[in-house]
Amino acid sequence: MKETKSKGRPAKDENDTQSNYCTIKDPAIEPFYIVKDASNFTVMEKKIAEKGFRGAEASGKERENVIGYYTSFKNALGRIAKEKFYQNQGEYETIQGYISTWNNVKEGIESMLNKVEI
């Protein structure tokens, strides 16, 4: 019988005691979190389904979306900062207001990074 290969990342082996998977969650970065494995940091986002299949009513089921894969913790946190900034759907009266909002988000992430040596 022909062996079929599945696409995507390999599943986490629950019986592997040498695995160095860990999940990093913090209220400051919610609804995002980081999953670290042997080779990278994966930024994930938790969402509640707003639409059902083919426009049907949503079930309110919790979903997880992969935002990206990063080789360093700093880059993963940088992506979370950008995502949190993009969630702000406000209208800005000036360029300075826009830049000020971005700096607030960026400084929050940088302050976390400054507390930990990477």
Residue by residue, what is the 3-state secondary structure of the chain?
CCCCCCCCCCCCCCCCCCCCCEEECCHHHCCEEEEECCCCEEEEEEEECCCCHHHCCCCCCEEEEEEEEECCHHHHHHHHHHHHHHHCCCCCCCHHHHHHHHHHHHHHHHHHHHHCCC
More confidently predicted of 30 and 35: 35
**pLDDT for position 53:** 64
Give the mean model confidence (pLDDT) for residues 75-91: 80
Q: Does residue 5 surpass a pLDDT of 70?
A: no
Q: What is the mean pLDDT of the chain?
A: 77
**pLDDT for position 43:** 92
Q: What is the pLDDT of residues 32-52, one digit of tens each?
A: 999 998 889 999 998 877 766
pTM: 0.63
Q: Does residue 79 surpass a pLDDT of 80?
A: yes
